[in-house]
Amino acid sequence: MLLPRQAARAGLQPLVVAPEFGGQLLGKGVAVENFPGIFESALTSGTRVVELMRRQALQYESVFLGGIVQSVNLSASPITVTVSCDPATPDPSAPGTQQPAATATPLATPITISTRALVVAVGSNSKWLGVPGEDILKGHGVSTCATCDGYLFRDKRVMVVGGGDAAMEDALVLARTTASVTIVHRRTEFRASKILVNRVKSNKKIRIKWETEVQRFEGDPKGPGLTHVVVVNRQTQKVTSVGVDACFIAIGHAPNSHVFGDQLPLDKDGYVVVEPYSTRVKGMRGVFAAGDIADKVYRQAVTSAGTGAAAALDAERWLSEAH
């Protein structure tokens, strides 16, 4: 949300196109504890933080359009964006404030927006297991962000699911503060780098369950949260209930770049490639990228906000130079 605020302060007319409900902070259901100025318990829910950001952006006359982008034409001049809109609803974060008229367009009737500059901030989604109990226990012991939530489980038993570098790094970080870490991996070998694998195997607080998959999560989101993870050995088919207080799923991320087709330069993992020390998309005019869609290293709310502000500055400068 720093992006629209920064752009509006520069005298631009930022239009934010996004579903009414979505995004990492809303979808993960976790408390936000690592964002500057957010520290009181009443303010730390992802929903509340997004609400505050939106209210701040609205003060600078940013416009929010609740809808889903159906297609983008980056070769057009100006760039065109086709949006399928939700019915108009009052902005929940600003009582009495009406949404732009475009949101009154029925969902089945797309509208096309023209713009001279486009900031791609569609993010990436953490991959989930899709097993029973996962959805209801998200934010109650089941998480995809050990960096965000690991400190909540100091001196407790935790589990990590995965076999890549991210899973190894999560396990090593968690082992510093938790009572024990159990890694569950479906294969007989990790695909992570050798140096990380060696560190994990030599850590006395970490144990490994090979050739094992998660069947379901058990617990009560209104009570203690996650209490057990039911796993099955792929070779013996033996089912085991493992008592843990938290489970961190580290099986990768999926960048949300599909709506752009082959119009954007992507790396081998699907992340948008930007120019060095800039948010400008490589080889593109008037197109910028911010947040997780161009970041496969940090993936934090605070770093995404920073690149959002940078993208607004880059867009302002580009518009000034080009026009």
Residue 240, Ramachandran bin (φ over 0: left; ψ between -120 and 50: alpha; else beta): beta
User: In whole angstroms, what is the distance from residue 229 CA to residue 111 CA?
Assistant: 46
- The active-site residue out of 145, 245, 247, 295 is 145
- The active-site residue out of 86, 149, 170, 314 is 149
Q: Which amino acid is at 120?
A: V
Would you call 148 a catalytic residue per the annotation? yes
Tokens of 265: 């330069």
- The active-site residue out of 91, 148, 245, 295 is 148
Residue keyed to tokens 């699907």: 270
Supply the residues annotated as catalytic: 145, 148-149
